Amino acid sequence: GQQLNQSPQSMFIQEGEDVSMNCTSSSIFNTWLWYKQDPGEGPVLLIALYKAGELTSNGRLTAQFGITRKDSFLNISASIPSDVGIYFCAGHLNYGGSQGNLIFGKGTKLSVKP
Amino acid sequence: NAGVTQTPKFQVLKTGQSMTLQCAQDMNHNSMYWYRQDPGMGLRLIYYSASEGTTDKGEVPNGYNVSRLNKREFSLRLESAAPSQTSVYFCASRRGTTGANEKLFFGSGTQLSVL
């Protein structure tokens, strides 16, 4: 089936650092979504992107929908301890199409440097 | 406003036992979903229901059945649990049935262990 390649798989941050993660695919997506999952909870939507080239911010978070429609990145500026968690990218292949076609990346686990 | 509510939060089963995971949403959403989350695998779709009265298979439906009892409730049943079904299960819902509104709202998950 279709796959999203999300990287890095994990990363360690120190408070105040900027963080960057991305997702790529061999397929063209019409929607890109970024979710965050806290321990013991379900994922929560952070940012949704609907147009190629779109750059959207949500506080310290910025995400972009790649021009080729095959990739997206998420940046977190000036990280704080509560940013730790697992971040998932998700993409929808068919604009207005089957509900089953929302595909998730495998996640980027953000942890605090010891 | 509770959003998406899943029960139970934790469950331990023996191989071959059956159980039903319950999910309800109070947002008047049309579409509901069941995902499983395994380490290093992300979220994989088991079944979904685009609207009341319809259900469809997702990526990993084998070993599961679902029922869209009404607009609010979507249950997931394991008829004969296997150790491979040890996972964290998430129910999700969204308002639309078609169109660009792709925002999924998730429950807090059910951690299932099959021994």
Query: What are the pLDDT digits (tens) for A67-108?
Result: 999 999 999 999 999 999 999 999 877 554 444 567 899 999
As a whole-number percent, the residues of chain A with pLDDT over 70 amount to 90
What distance in Å separates the CA atoms of residue B73 and residue B113, rounded to the nearest whole number? 23
* Pair A50, A58: CB distance under 8 Å: no
User: Distance between terminal CA atoms of chain B?
Assistant: 36
Cα angle A18, A22, A28; round to 5 = 150
| Residue A45 forms contact with B (CB below 8 Å) | yes
B90: chain A residues, CB-CB within 8 Å: 42-43
Give the nearest chain A residue to B6 (CA atoms). Answer: A42
* Pair A56, A62: CB distance under 8 Å: yes
Phi then psi for residue B92, to 5 deg, are -145, 160
- Note whether A45 contacts B42, CB cutoff 8 Å: no
Per-residue model confidence as pLDDT tens for chain B (115 residues): 679 999 999 999 999 999 999 999 999 999 999 999 998 788 999 999 988 889 999 889 999 999 998 999 999 999 999 999 999 999 999 887 655 556 789 999 999 999 9
Assigned token pair, A78: 């000036």
Tell me which residues of chain B have a C-beta less than 8 Å from any C-beta of chain A.
4, 31, 33, 35, 40-45, 48, 50, 56-59, 90, 92, 94, 97-100, 102-109
Alpha helices per DSSP H over chain A: none
What distance in Å separates the CA atoms of residue B25 and residue B5, rounded to the nearest whole number? 6
| Residue A39 forms contact with B (CB below 8 Å) | no
The pLDDT of residue B101 is: 56
- Note whether A43 contacts B102, CB cutoff 8 Å: no
What distance in Å separates the CA atoms of residue B104 and residue B96, rounded to the nearest whole number? 10
A64, exposed or middle or buried, with CB in 10 Å at 0-12, 13-18, 19+? buried
- Note whether A95 contacts B100, CB cutoff 8 Å: yes
Q: Comparing C-alpha atoms, which of A32, A14, A5, A18 is closest to residue A108?
A: A5
Cα angle A49, A53, A57; round to 5 = 50
Cα angle B79, B66, B102; round to 5 = 140
A49: chain B residues, CB-CB within 8 Å: none
The C-alpha torsion from A45 through A49 and A50 to A56, rounded to 10°, is 130
The pLDDT of residue A101 is: 65
Assigned token pair, A25: 């695919």
SS3 call for B35: strand
| Residue A67 forms contact with B (CB below 8 Å) | no
